Structure 1
Amino acid sequence: MTLKRRTFIIGGAAAAGVGALALGAYLTPRQHAPARVYTADGLAIRGTDPVAYFTEGRPVAGDPAITHDWADATWAFATTEARDMFAADPVAYAPQYGGFCAWAVAAKGELYSTQPENWAIVDGKLYLNFNDGVQETWNTDRPGFIEAGDERWPDIVADT
């Protein structure tokens, strides 16, 4: 009986481990924290509230007293409600490519800074860009740049 019970326990643990590995293989990059996050003055998105892009439809300055640490970065929020929304599901609100310039990741495979005013939400995901000119270029083929950026991002962060 002890041998069967031990076998059952070991077999169950192995099956659980295999299941966890299989689940990890199906998770998309959006479901994980970015390997790197662009920060300026110690704050992600230059202190802009990432939730506001979704709820206000515009960049809103975060309050330095209302923050949340995630993905090795400090994120600022305009309200405690926004902070709590982010804390509950950060990948839903954090910008793609760690907040680095979406066009530079896609077109050049490089990490450029961003300005909070140069943004877009595409298919429920936030993308930031370097400046107005880059944003204009990125807008000419958002799907193509996103596809290229999604392909390049893992190699970019692996090299840094």
Structure 2
Amino acid sequence: MRSKYVSPIAAALLATVSLACTKSASGTKVTVEKSLVNTSGVTQIAINGFDPVAFFTEGKAVHGEPEITSTHEGAVYMFASHEHKESFNKEPGKYLPQYGGFSALAASYGSLLPVDISTWKVRDGKLYLDLNPEYADDFHADFASNVEKADAQWPKLIEKNKELNAANVSE
């Protein structure tokens, strides 16, 4: 029977190959300044253009408006309203997705993988995203343990990928 998700070794290999290339199939880019942020396109848009505040205040994924943006740690966040932008600017850490907007389950295995926005979930006041619904289900099935593992891996992922930045990873 075929596994519904990628093994940790395969995920690590996939992440390494994706990061080594100047452009992945999804167009995902990595922005590194103070942190590691999953962005796409030359515009450095994070979270695929979705409003990070709306996940918390509206309980759903809402596209941001291109004319309402803020830049944080090299990534551009789009907002559905000026009020959401103001909330984000006051407390960006409250609204940023965990693990730079990369797959939470992959982060727990020490890998970076892109996300499907439909997997979003706010839990314990934090936004989690994942590669696909199966990854999200697995991550949340053993939530405490997976958060502990991902939290331990995240600084290592930042260090491992510190040489990457928006200037040398382009479309």
Instruction: Tell me which interval the TM-score lies in, with the shorter structure as reference length.
Output: 0.7 to 0.9
Partner of 1:72: 74
Q: CA deviation at 1:95?
A: 0.5
Paired letter, 2:105: W
What is the identity, as a one-letter code, of the residue corresponding to 1:60? Answer: V
Decide which structure has the larger Cα Rg and report it: 1
Q: Percent identity?
A: 38
Secondary structure of 2:53's aligned partner = helix
Asked if 1:96 corresponds to 2:83, the answer is no
Q: Distance in 1 between matches of 2:85 and 2:131?
A: 25
Residues 17-47 of structure 1: per-residue CA shift (max 9 Å, x gap):
xxxxxxxxxxxxxxxx961110122210000
Higher helix share: 1
Corresponding residue of 1:121: 122
Alignment of 1:37-48 (within 5 A): 37-41=37-41, 42-48=44-50
Is there any run of 5+ residues in structure 2 with no aligned partner, and where? 1-32, 162-171
1:38-87 alpha-carbon deviations (Å, 9 max, x no partner): 01222100000000000011110111111000011000000010011001
Aligned-pair distance for 1:116? 1.5
1:48–1:61 CA distance, 2 compared to 1 (3 A): same
Cα distance in 1 for partners of 2:34, 2:120 equals 18
Which letter does structure 2 place at the counterpart of 1:94? Answer: L
Q: Give the aligned partner of residue 35 of structure 2.
A: 35
Is 2:56 the partner of 1:54? yes
Please, which of 73, 76, 84 is the counterpart of residue 82 of structure 1? 84
Q: Does 1:146 align with 2:142?
A: no
Asked whether the 8 Å contact 1:101–1:130 carries over to 2, the reply is yes
Q: In the TM superposition, what is the alpha-carbon distance from 1:122 to its structure 2 partner? A: 1.7
Deviation by residue 1:65-118 (Cα, 9 ceiling, x = unmatched): 110000110000000100110011100000111111100000x20110112211
Aligned residue in 1 for 2:134: 133
Which whole-Å CA distance do the structure 1 matches of 2:69 and 2:56 have between them? 18
Q: Which has the higher contact order (CA 8 A, sep 6+)?
A: 2
What root-mean-square deviation, in Å, do the aligned CA atoms of Structure 1 and Structure 2 show? 1.3
Number of matched pairs = 127
**Pairing partner for 1:63 from 30, 53, 65:** 65
Distance 1:64 1:115 in 2: 20
CA distance in 1, matches of 2:118, 2:65: 17
Task: Verify the 8 A CA contact 1:66 1:79 in the aligned structure 2.
Answer: yes
- Paired with 1:109 and 1:81, the residues of 2 have a C-alpha distance of 36
